[in-house]
Amino acid sequence: MAECHPVGFQWVMEAKARGATVIHVDPRFTRTSAVADRHVAIRAGSDIAFLGGIVNHILSTDSYFREYVVAYTNAATILRDDFVDVDDLDGVFSGYDPESGTYDTATWQYRGRTSVSAAAGEEEQIRNSGGADGDTGQGGDSQQHGHGSDQGGGRHSGGEDGSQDEASQGARGAGHELGGHGANLGHGQVDRDETLQDPHCVFQVLKRHYARYTPEMVQEVCGVPPEDFLAVCRAVVENSGRERTTAWVYSVGWTHHTVGVQYIRGAAVIQLLLGNMGRPGGGILALRGHASIQGSTDIPTLFNLLPGYLPMPMVQEHGSDSLADYVATIASPQQKGFWTAADAYTVSLLKAYWGDAAQPDNDFCYRYIPKLTGDHGTYQTVMDMLDDTVEGYFLLGQNPAVGSAHGRMQRLAMSHLKWLVVRDLNLIESATFWKDGPEIHTGELRTEDIGTEVFFLPAASHVEKDGTFTQTQRLLQWHHKAVEPPGDCRSDLHFFFHLGRMMRERLARGEDGSGPLERDRPLLDLVWDYPVDEHGEPSADAVLREINGVHLSGDKAGQPLSSYTEMKPDGSTSGGCWIYTGVYADGVNQSQRRKPGQDQSWVAPEWGWAWPSNRRTLYNRASADPQGRPWSERKAYVWWDAEKRTWTGHDVPDFPLDTAPDYRPEPGVGGPKGLAGDDPFIMQGDGKGWLYAPTGLLDGPMPTHYEPQESPVSNGLYRQQANPTRQVFPRPDNPSGPSGDEPGAQVFPYVFTTYRLTEHHTAGGMSRWLPYLSELQPAFFCEVSPALAAERGLENGGWATIVSARTAIEARVLVTERMVPLRVNGRTVHQVGLPYHWGVGSDALTTGDSANDLFGVTLDPNVHIQETKVATCDVRAGRRPTGADLLALVAEYQRRAGITLATGNQQRTPVGDQPSPLTGS
Amino acid sequence: MALQDIRRTFLSWPVVRQLTGSDPTGRGAAVVSDHTRAVTARTETADRVVQSICPYCAVGCGQRVYVKDEKVVQIEGDHDSPISRGRLCPKGSASEQLVNNPGRQIKILYRRPYGTEWESLDLDTAMQMITERVLDTRARTWQATDDQGRDVNRTLGIAGLGGATLDNEENYLIKKIFTAMGAIQIENQARI
Amino acid sequence: MSVHDAGTERLTDATAGTGFRTGRPDGPDTSRGAGGGRRRRRRGGRGEQPVVPDATFTSYYGRPVVKPSPWEADIPAYLFFGGVAGGSSLLAAGADLTGRPSLRRVARIGALGAISVSFAALVHDLGRPRRFVNMLRVAKPSSPMSVGTWILTLYGPFAGVAGAAELTGNALRRGWLPQRLRPVARLLHAAGRPAGMVAAGTGPAVAAYTAVLLADTATPSWHEAYRELPFVFVGSAGAAAGGLGLLAAHGGDTGPATRLAVAGTALEMLAEQRMERSMGLTAEPLHQGTAGRLMRASKVLGVLGAAGAAVSAAVPQLGRWLRRPAGAALLASSVCTRFGVFEAGQASARDPKYTVVPQRERLERSGRATT
Amino acid sequence: MTLTTGGVPPVRAGVAAAVPDGAPVRTADPDDPARKSGWDGAPRRKGFFTDTSICIGCKACEVACKEWNGVPEDGLDLLGTSYDNTGGLGASTWRHVAFIEQPAAPARPAVDLGMPARHRGSAGPGADRTGDTAGASTGPAERTDFRWLMSSDVCKHCTHAACLDVCPTGSLFRTEFGTVVVQDDICNGCGYCVPACPYGVIERRVEEHGPKNVGIAQKCTLCYDRLEVGRTPACAQACPTASIQFGDVEELRERAAARLATLHDQGVAEARLYGDDPDDGVGGAGAFFLLLDEPEVYGFPPDPVVTTRDLPAMWRRAGVAAVTLLAGAAASFLGRRR
């Protein structure tokens, strides 16, 4: 956090000065570790074992916050008795289909329930722990962040086998497209045993599941000595309860694993057991690494989402033409909470998009929305480029040649395009790959043979345009335009507005003046009439008003909505993103509010505007006890005012204001009125925090340890080596190295991990061109321990070549005791650290090989995020070969390791050493 | 030179000021130059100051942007921000250079298919060309229905990547126009 | 690739400086406690007697603590020529008063030439030579360079008049001057002696102040030399001025030059020896590298020069051909002294040892050390 | 000047707010360096207290300083010295963050006995430390007190400032805030201040960093221009963790003493202040530090002394030497004339 979010880290230092204990768990000793009370070196990719160990410690020592757990979580909820845990199935949960590598989640359900719909994005993620910020960076301080996640999307399980996709669709649940709107529970009535004794209640299942995660097991898997581990457990437990809270902060590298979502679930289980959710000083805080990465998931530039975590319609799941069908899949009217108004949110969006053309009799133009049929995520799209089905590509402040996994695949894919538009502040490597990319140097590509037409359009910087960023704590902050952009630089608002305008003008004329085609109606009917200034710049303020939404009829017609609760499903309101409704409450751009922090309370509610409803800490009903009183005076945040019969406090209460703590809904009542007075998790179908996720996840109801796609060690818990549902791409251009005890694994004996440095920003587009930042970290380097340096003859300041199953890169060497060899499973595991900011090009002030080139593409099944925080490699002293020799070196390694298409790509680990058939092609 | 000027020049000679003033050792007040005496912070002489937000990570630190003669002359932390309290990290502190870096690319560049060098292009032409490319690709790759005859109304020929560094308003327009033109493969850093 | 080269080279320094923690063989365990994890370096390998027995010390990657001066050859040249000028003005005045015209002429012209070169070197060394005149903005007793500037401002014109008088006097005598300039020349001639006297009065300051110029720095081998360095420098100045006299004056006039040269050399050597004793560890650079070679050359040349001068005086037959080489050797010796002292200082600033160890010892002596 | 946002007053008001106590408070200290330099009615002396125990090594200070003062980039070299690629203070580096990696003490004593001798210029630290790498064979348990120290260095703005003393042009001067500043329009680049500084701070800018102020001595001004208008220096304002604290020196010294006491109470025995003592060799620094190890570990001189403290003695010596030369020269004219 000190590394990548130094300014957010001021609050950690502040807390430390007031007596907080700061623990840093990281493979490397970083600038955060330097000021932490304790640094725990952990093997990259073993976090679930560590988190599970803490869960086991909490449960086996009865250290959980019992009153909170019983009242606010699903600990007491009874599960079906045919659920079978991983220990009895050698590493998979019940319902696993080894053919498709997917689960039928029916047996995971609450008792008396059948699977209605499993969504990849469960509410916990949307509102709280977030599952899928793919950004490596991290992001911010905050109370409870709750960034939305961009889950979903169809799976790719080896080849686009349409029928298989179709057949397994129902069983898998609609994770693909349900996006972040939350799992549909059907209704909120569940069986509970509040003594927590029933063997089938969540609490007992959890206890059994984590019983094997002993300190000794943690040591074996993570390389963390028991005394260090227990010190962490004690600190976490001692600093939780009525009087104290513990916060977990992760940088979104946690999502860069084939089990990324489950990492965050692991932290969620701990926080719920200890009563740290919805309370000040608690929560799980995702530190996100881009100025508006939160905003770009809320108002998504993501394939599977519409604004406000509404799903993009998918043919198989939503039918192709019925708004009612679509809405029904999002939430059942009987379930608890605010998702039951999804129809109002959807219709308001459609009215914002298509205005007067959207009418009840045409389903508000619902049919205009293009439909998904599977995974159209960025990696799938890149592979589609290689298959020449994608012709054009817009890169908007993103540098995939450096920042995405498997850089070679990214660049080769771009060489297949017909046209490429790059909009950036600097001439990034993704814009120049055709003349100076690594493949030009190896001879794999020749500039003269690349048919891609490239447009580089310089972008306006943040001070050259108006607009809002949504930061990591869901806070929208307006940035005012200070100056006009120079030269040809323009905002993306300008570019897309005028691109849309010009397209509409052309289409309105039609080919040869023959008039528009039916397929052009969505474009022509689009509301696209934003006011522009004298430079042709559209008004960002007008766009924000549209996002907020307005009343379209009635006496308030034309006035901005003040809350999403005002949205109607009858077409009388519009609103481009329901969760952002309120940012223009009272006709005022609330994101511009800048009442100085020193002039308001510590919650600072009058600075900017947080979605939803300017609420700074989510689920804050949980900061009070079931009777509505603060758990302690010290931790008072939101409470029930019995006299005024309303919820009140320092923040906007995250609860229906007039629902008294003792309110109990009649059976069958859904929506907000279905929430009991002690159901703080208002976006969950049952109002409770989920220790166990009966629905919503594709890879298991509880986090369980799996090794990464590439690992030097075997899974210490069971035969199943890696996540049995991970998304693999067995292609010749995407090989994986052998793991554990497989033959050839010793060819890549070391673990490497990637990260950011304080001095640079992601793929470098905003830092490697700046002299003041480049001089601070002027070259790509690797960090190795003295022991590894000795083993491989590396010299501080010299060069090393790092070889993975995909390629080899070179880096300057920093020999440092901050890298610690770990004892894992009876052997020493060396880890190599690689910052990923550098790329091969000729325009930046500092260039170098790209760490992301070392990775292949293997994804988390829930959110399609790649595993770029851990893989295996070899390290050699000296610089890498160049030209064709580089390819030969890599081929030699592949040969020595015996890599085939099957290597690493069998989702279910085969029994014994018997090779089993390849999955996929 | 008038006698008076000579006198003034002589009296402003630091040696004389040393001998006649309160700073006989010549290490302070006596040796200050006119230039030094006139020094002031450029934050004070700016034409206006604009409140902004740091464009790097998602902490969302407040920035103040000082503008003089329509040029950004300084960007520093906004002490009013309850998030950052006026502080900035090295990247945020370098924001002015991000804007004013002499090496910043401010002209459109065009690489024709199979070309070996960049060429220049004016904005209108570039916009026209891109509009054509998009519409051509869209027409060529249009899918009204999938292979089972179900309506999909889309193109799989146009993709996009980016948004995490952009404004919400920009993302909104991108998603809106992509959706309206039937392009679904829009992604951003949140997936990466 | 330059990045690589630079990095490696710097690394070498870093490696050397960071050193491997050795602790102190005869001291308390300093590896932990207040000094937590200090890395110390001990000079010299096992079995080799270090110059200073307890020279373990810590530094930041071996990087210098103080900065060496940015000065190049200009400054030691300035020191040398300043010395020659100051000493020569003395010789000139003496020669003038005692009627040694050739010595007077050589010394006056020498002083003028030397101070001119000296001045040029000083200006040339400036980062902004055109701003030389800013030196006259202030008069700061705390700044040897300011004091020196004012000394030069006083000395320079008089030495100049004396030198000019010598040059024009010669021309006047030989009737080389046009009619128009003759009154000026006569005036100069008349001013020659008083100007020469003033120059002689200020000449020793010119020669001596340069020692303060160097000593008044944080450069270890200059500052620690401050007690004796003025004597080294005036000795060297006397020797050089004498050497110049020997080199260029008429043989019959060289007696005072010889005596000054021999006495100056003796003073320089005695003072230098004392200086090294008082400098402690910081004397080390005077024996190492370029500085060491220069200082050795200075001694050899000084001894040879002084001996040659003495022999020349004692044995006039030998003097005829020995006098000039002896004079040249003395001048060369003075050059070597100035460059040697200069280089030693620069070297001492580049190695953190010479900053850290004496200060650490001082702290420990005074009981202010925190460890 | 106007501020583009709703409801926030123009920045001038903000500036006033930045001066915590409104109108500048005048110093009452007769020993105040500004007063001694002819600044009657000088404000209280300003300085930095850098608490390295909370420095996170982010280098915001380095960038903020360069941004505000227009200090040029000065080299893109990877130095191989932990995360420090700046090296040290200089003409084009007015803030420098040091990074010191300290292995924990090994369990066994007497490490220097029997260890192979270390040679100058051999391979990196890793190459011959393998036998002593705690992590190599023992795992992390035994190296819990591995430390990574970071510290942001800056000009000390000494009470007795050698650079200022020796400057022959009056370019360097003591400001009314008690700080020491170069006047770029005056300095002629004589370079004398460079070797005079006991901390190796000030330096003459070379052409490679040009073209601005080439040949002129450069160093931290403690943002003199910002102080003039009541603003915090750029580095201190940027510092995310308030490791760099700006304020009245007197008050900062109290704050530093309190912080030291707190750390000592917490068992951080190795914490110590550096440069805060008015009785030290430079009369106390205007920028002082809380360190967690010996000063030289961070590249500081352990006992800096302003060189001009010895200047009177030097002048005396030089005077005697000059007289000696005069006398010697006179003597050389005595005796028999040949």
Q: Determine contact, residues D294/D302, Cβ cutoff 8 Å.
A: yes
Say whether pLDDT at C36 is over 70.
Answer: no
Three-class DSSP category at C308: helix
pLDDT band (50, 70, 90) for residue C8: very low
Q: How many helices (H) and strands (E) does chain C have?
A: 11, 0
Q: Determine contact, residues B114/A448, Cβ cutoff 8 Å.
A: yes
The pLDDT assigned to D140 comes to 36
Residue B25: which of C136, C137, C142 has the nearest Cβ? C142
Residue B28: which of D5, D37, D186 has the nearest Cβ? D37
The pLDDT assigned to B54 comes to 98
Q: In 3D, which of B139, B87, D307 has the Cα closest to residue A14? A: B87
Chain B contact present for A463, CB below 8 A: yes
| C11–A799 CB contact, under 8 Å | no
pLDDT band (50, 70, 90) for residue D105: low
Say whether pLDDT at A440 is over 90.
Answer: yes
A-chain CB neighbours of C3 within 8 Å are: 778-779
Say whether pLDDT at A828 is over 80.
Answer: yes
> Which CATH number does D32-102+143-316 carry?
3.30.70.20
The residue among A186 and D65 whose pLDDT is bigger is: D65
pLDDT band (50, 70, 90) for residue A187: low
Residue D189: which of C126, C142, C146 has the nearest Cβ? C126
Say whether pLDDT at A647 is over 80.
Answer: yes
SS3 content of chain B, % helix, strand, coil (to 5): 40, 25, 40
Query: Which residues contact residue D267 at a Cβ distance below 8 angstroms, ignoring those fewer than 6 apart?
Result: none
> Can you tell me the distance from the alpha carbon of D57 to that of D35, in angstroms, rounded to the nearest whole number?
36
**Residue C52, in any domain of the structure:** no
Instruction: List, as one string, the DSSP characters of A775-834.
Output: TTS-S-EEEE-HHHHHHHT--TTSEEEEE-SS-EEEEEEEE-TTB--EEETTEEE-EEEE
Query: Which residues contact residue B14 at a Cβ distance below 8 angstroms, ignoring those fewer than 6 apart?
Result: B26, B30, B31, C137, C138, D170
Average of pLDDT values for B118-133? 98
C-chain CB neighbours of D289 within 8 Å are: none
Q: Determine contact, residues D237/B77, Cβ cutoff 8 Å.
A: yes
- Mean pLDDT, chain A, whole residue set: 90
Instruction: List, as one string, the DSSP characters of A642-699.
Output: TTTTEEEESS--SS-TT--TT--PPTT--BGGG--TT---TTSTTSSB-SS-SSS-SS
The pLDDT assigned to C88 comes to 95
Question: Which of the residue ranges A324-333, B48-57, B139-148, C67-76 would you say has the lowest mean pLDDT?
Answer: A324-333
Q: Which sign does the torsion angle of CA D266, D269, D275, D277 carry?
A: positive
Tens digit of each residue's pLDDT (9 = 90 or more) over C174-203: 888 888 888 888 888 899 999 999 999 999
Share of chain B above pLDDT 70, in %: 99
> Can you tell me the distance from the alpha carbon of D204 to that of A438, in angstroms, rounded to the nearest whole number?
41
Residue D28: Cβ within 10 Å count: 9
Tens digit of each residue's pLDDT (9 = 90 or more) over D228-267: 999 999 999 999 999 999 999 999 999 999 999 999 999 9
Average of pLDDT values for D307-334? 95
Q: To which residue do tokens 């900011």 refer?
A: A837
| D168–C352 CB contact, under 8 Å | no
Q: In 3D, which of C324, B53, C189, D90 has the Cα closest to residue A472? A: B53
Residue D226 C-alpha, separation from nearest chain C C-alpha, in angstroms: 27
| A464–B157 CB contact, under 8 Å | no
Examine residue A199 and say whether the peptide bond preceding it is cis (omega within 30 degrees of 0).
no
| B26–C136 CB contact, under 8 Å | no
The pLDDT assigned to A185 comes to 65
The pLDDT assigned to A215 comes to 98
pLDDT band (50, 70, 90) for residue A125: very low
Residue D170: which of B31, B75, B79 has the nearest Cβ? B31
Query: Which residues contact residue D21 at a Cβ distance below 8 angstroms, ignoring those fewer than 6 apart?
Result: none
Say whether pLDDT at A503 is over 70.
Answer: yes
- Pull the structure tokens for residue A830: 């060396």
Furthest CA-CA distance within chain C: 86
Residue A876: Cβ within 10 Å count: 17
Average of pLDDT values for D296-322? 96
- Burial environment of residue D43 by CB neighbours within 10 A (0 to 12, 13 to 18, 19 or more): buried
Say whether pLDDT at C265 is over 50.
Answer: yes
Instruction: List, as one string, the DSSP characters of C14-32.
Output: HHHHH------TTS---SS
Tens digit of each residue's pLDDT (9 = 90 or more) over D31-80: 889 999 999 889 999 999 999 999 999 999 999 999 999 999 999 999 99
Three-class DSSP category at A307: helix
Q: Which of residues 59-78 of B touch D (CB under 8 A)?
A: 64, 74-77
Q: In 3D, which of A735, A705, A736 has the Cα closest to residue A722? A: A705
Say whether pLDDT at A854 is over 60.
Answer: yes
pLDDT band (50, 70, 90) for residue A826: confident
**Residue C44, in any domain of the structure:** no
Integer angstrom CA distances of residue D230 from B98, C304, D224, D290: 27, 66, 10, 26
Rounded to a whole number of angstroms, the CA Rg of chain D reads 24
Q: In 3D, which of A272, A222, A262 has the Cα closest to residue A71? A: A272
Residue A778: which of C3, C11, C15 has the nearest Cβ? C3
D-chain CB neighbours of A18 within 8 Å are: none
> Can you tell me the distance from the alpha carbon of A899 to that of A735, in angstroms, rounded to the nearest whole number?
7
| B179–A353 CB contact, under 8 Å | yes
Question: Which of the residue ranges A308-322, A516-530, D129-143 would you say has the lowest mean pLDDT?
Answer: D129-143
Q: Which of residues 14-43 of C touch A (CB under 8 A)?
A: 15
pLDDT band (50, 70, 90) for residue C283: very high
Tens digit of each residue's pLDDT (9 = 90 or more) over A758-798: 999 999 999 999 999 999 999 999 999 999 999 999 999 99
Residue B117 C-alpha, separation from nearest chain C C-alpha, in angstroms: 26
| B168–A302 CB contact, under 8 Å | no
Chain D contact present for C127, CB below 8 A: yes
Say whether pLDDT at A156 is over 70.
Answer: no
- Paired strand residues for A620: none
CATH number assigned to the domain comprising residue B60? 2.20.25.90
Measured torsion, CA atoms of residues A550, A554, A556, A561, in degrees rounded to the nearest 10: -30
**Residue C33, in any domain of the structure:** no
Q: In 3D, which of D59, C4, B190 has the Cα closest to residue A762? A: B190
Tens digit of each residue's pLDDT (9 = 90 or more) over D267-302: 999 999 999 999 999 999 999 999 999 999 999 999
Say whether pLDDT at A526 is over 80.
Answer: yes
Chain C contact present for B67, CB below 8 A: no
Tens digit of each residue's pLDDT (9 = 90 or more) over C302-344: 999 999 999 988 888 888 889 999 999 999 999 999 999 999 9
Chain C residue closest to D186 (CA)? C134
Share of chain A above pLDDT 90, in %: 85
pLDDT band (50, 70, 90) for residue A188: low
Chain D contact present for B79, CB below 8 A: yes
> Can you tell me the distance from the alpha carbon of D61 to that of D245, in angstroms, rounded to the nearest whole number?
11
The pLDDT assigned to C171 comes to 82
**Residue B115, in any domain of the structure:** no
The pLDDT assigned to D27 comes to 72
Q: Which of residues 758-817 of A touch D (CB under 8 A)?
A: 758-759, 771-779, 781, 784-787, 789-790, 794-798, 812-817
Say whether pLDDT at A559 is over 60.
Answer: yes
Residue B185: which of A381, A478, A538 has the nearest Cβ? A381
The pLDDT assigned to A577 comes to 98
The pLDDT assigned to A333 comes to 81
Measured torsion, CA atoms of residues C357, C360, C365, C370, in degrees rounded to the nearest 10: -160
Q: Which sign does the torsion angle of CA A835, A836, A842, A844 carry?
A: negative
pLDDT band (50, 70, 90) for residue A849: very high
- Pull the structure tokens for residue D221: 């001004």
Q: In 3D, which of A122, A155, A522, A94 has the Cα closest to residue A316? A: A155
Residue C133 C-alpha, separation from nearest chain B C-alpha, in angstroms: 12
Q: Which of residues 27-46 of B touch C (CB under 8 A)?
A: 27, 30-31
CA D78 to the chain's CA centroid = 23
C-chain CB neighbours of B26 within 8 Å are: 138-140
Owning domain of residue C109:
74-355
Number of domains in chain C: 1
Query: Which residues contact residue B117 at a Cβ distance below 8 angstroms, ignoring those fewer than 6 apart?
Result: A435, B111
The pLDDT assigned to D253 comes to 97
| C11–A796 CB contact, under 8 Å | yes
> How many alpha carbons lie under 13 Å from residue C353 in its C-beta half-sphere?
24
The pLDDT assigned to C319 comes to 84
- Best of C136, C138, C146, C153 to mutate (most B CBs within 10 Å, chain B): C138
CATH number assigned to the domain comprising residue C262? 1.20.1630.10
Residue B53: which of A306, A477, A761 has the nearest Cβ? A477
Say whether pLDDT at B36 is over 90.
Answer: yes
- Backbone dihedral region for residue A582 (phi beyond 0: left; psi -120 to 50: alpha; all else: beta): left
| B18–C138 CB contact, under 8 Å | yes
Q: Determine contact, residues A458/A492, Cβ cutoff 8 Å.
A: no
- Pull the structure tokens for residue C371: 């460890």
Chain C residues with CB-CB distance to B under 8 A?
136-142
Tens digit of each residue's pLDDT (9 = 90 or more) over D158-187: 999 999 999 999 999 999 999 999 999 999
Interface predicted TM-score of the whole assembly (ipTM), two decimals: 0.92
Integer angstrom CA distances of residue A309 from A543, A578, A682, B38, C178: 19, 9, 16, 57, 103
> Can you tell me the distance from the alpha carbon of D311 to that of D319, in angstroms, rounded to the nearest whole number?
12
> Can you tell me the distance from the alpha carbon of A312 to that of A305, in angstroms, rounded to the nearest whole number?
5
- Mean pLDDT, chain D, whole residue set: 84
Q: Are strands A475-479 and A467-470 parallel, antiparallel or unpaired?
A: antiparallel
Chain D contact present for A225, CB below 8 A: yes
The residue among A395 and C255 whose pLDDT is bigger is: A395
Q: Determine contact, residues A831/A819, Cβ cutoff 8 Å.
A: yes
Average of pLDDT values for D90-112? 75
- Burial environment of residue D29 by CB neighbours within 10 A (0 to 12, 13 to 18, 19 or more): middle
pLDDT band (50, 70, 90) for residue A183: low
**Residue C174, in any domain of the structure:** yes
> Can you tell me the distance from the alpha carbon of A175 to that of A118, in angstroms, rounded to the nearest whole number?
6
Residue A883: Cβ within 10 Å count: 10
Question: What structural domains does chain A harbor?
Answer: 1-36 (no CATH), 42-336+616-706 (3.40.228.10), 492-536 (no CATH), 745-897 (2.40.40.20)
Q: In 3D, which of C121, C129, C127, C130 has the Cα closest to residue C73? A: C121
Number of domains in chain B: 3
Owning domain of residue B31:
3-37
> Can you tell me the distance from the alpha carbon of A688 to that of D286, in angstroms, rounded to the nearest whole number?
58
- Paired strand residues for A284: A248
Q: Determine contact, residues A138/A711, Cβ cutoff 8 Å.
A: no
Q: Determine contact, residues A349/A327, Cβ cutoff 8 Å.
A: no
C-chain CB neighbours of B18 within 8 Å are: 138-139
N-terminal to C-terminal alpha carbon distance within chain C: 44
| B46–D231 CB contact, under 8 Å | no
A-chain CB neighbours of B74 within 8 Å are: none
Residue B80 C-alpha, separation from nearest chain D C-alpha, in angstroms: 9
Chain B residue closest to A862 (CA)? B191
Question: Which of the residue ranges A621-625, A665-669, C352-356 would you say has the lowest mean pLDDT?
Answer: A665-669
pLDDT band (50, 70, 90) for residue D103: confident
Residue A392: which of B54, B134, B182 has the nearest Cβ? B134
Tens digit of each residue's pLDDT (9 = 90 or more) over A303-313: 999 999 999 99
Size of interface B-C (CB pairs under 8 A): 20
H/E stretch holding D207 reads none
The pLDDT assigned to D100 comes to 97
Residue A786 C-alpha, separation from nearest chain C C-alpha, in angstroms: 13
> Can you tell me the distance from the alpha carbon of D308 to that of B7, in angstroms, rounded to the nearest whole number?
34
Average of pLDDT values for A875-887? 97
Tens digit of each residue's pLDDT (9 = 90 or more) over A719-731: 999 999 999 999 9
**Residue B125, in any domain of the structure:** no
The pLDDT assigned to D23 comes to 55
